[in-house]
Structure 1
Amino acid sequence: MMKSNILKVLCGISIFALAACSTEAEKKQIQKSSGWTIKSNQSLLNFSSTKNGDIEEKHEFNGITGSVSKTGEVQVTVDLTSVDTNIPIRDERLQKHVFNTEQHPKALITANIDPQLLSVKDKTKTTIKGTLSLAGQSTDFSAEISVTPAKGMLIVTTEEPVVLSVKKLGVADGVEKLREIAGLNSISDEVPVTFSLTLLHHY
């Protein structure tokens, strides 16, 4: 009888412990999954190119996805085949010669942001540091951004262009190929990049 009671107690403790572990695991999963998601149809990443010394043209990527965790971990994926320069043949050449989309169809941006900025009540400016991985190469960058709340969403926008080097990104040869094909005198090695990301809170 005593053994039976002891077994019942032990079983009860075991079940309670398993339930507690399960609950804790669920909490961690919820914490991990909660955060912010990029609204692709309301987000843009723009870049500029300068040819022949003084002719500046603006381009954009439309295929942007990603998220920001509640702890401030940022991950943005850019579909390089979504590049739009307003000239279809130039889009194709960029994909083939610069981005090499057959092997590297996407670019990845990772960064960290102060989690407190995810609950701001007014427009707030800050500086973030991140890494851009493109066509098999990576480069670090810093960006001056603003975070603005808007009807349950957050708008994250660059305050100043982030200037990237095609040499550091390892795509200088591809840019040179574009210059030759287009018969241009020059294409700038520096590429100013701006973005506006709309983040939707999820739980």
Structure 2
Amino acid sequence: MAIILAIVRISKNPNNQFGGAGMVANIYNPHVEGQQHSACRMKIQKGSNILQIGWRVDPTLYRDNKTRLLAGNKHCFNVLCPGFIIVNNVIPINMAFDKISTRGGKTWEFAMFIERIFTELISFANNVEWGGVAYSPPGVPKSPMGSSFFPVGNSVSDGYCRALTVLNNKGATINVNKTTIYVDDTNLYQVLDDPQVGIGKFKHCAFFGGPGESHQL
């Protein structure tokens, strides 16, 4: 499997109706080379309709190794794609993040929200996920994800998505308190799910990451 996930998600149910989703994510710059890429994303989906947003390091797509804003669907990776609201508008559209978190040091993060734009008859998403995605071509070692270390449940050390929310079918934003963990390869990546919904900025937080098979972190 070339694409590997380390995520938390709302249990799949065809009766779910979500009009959008939100999160706050910290920003890292995992080391990738060639056709590898590594990302943190939030994705909402209904059938073949997908919207996703987050950050991504992708030399093939961006021609550099900078951490850049990822926004799009299956075919469009541009923040000008419809359906996206960048809550932190200090970040220039289509520009790389100039402030990157340091493990054990300063943390930089940004907030985002996806509105629904679906073409199916019932235009609500029924699946939402948050977390990390890594890709390496066949025969190439798997790239690191998040902070490039396994999560320990500490915001200073881990890549994370916090303040997980969804927009329900009545247009109200609600905190997410029930999610499940999915990891393709727990030897390379891990997720810690901390549903601390309540007082405080972190609320529901998913810590994710791992070294992959990289020897250069």
Instruction: Report 1 or 2 for greater relative contact order, CA contacts < 8 Å, sequence distance ≥ 6.
Output: 2
Q: Shared fold (TM-score greater than 0.5)?
A: no
Q: Which structure shows the bigger proportion of residues in helix conformation?
A: 1
Please, what TM-score do these two structures have when normalized by structure 1? 0.31
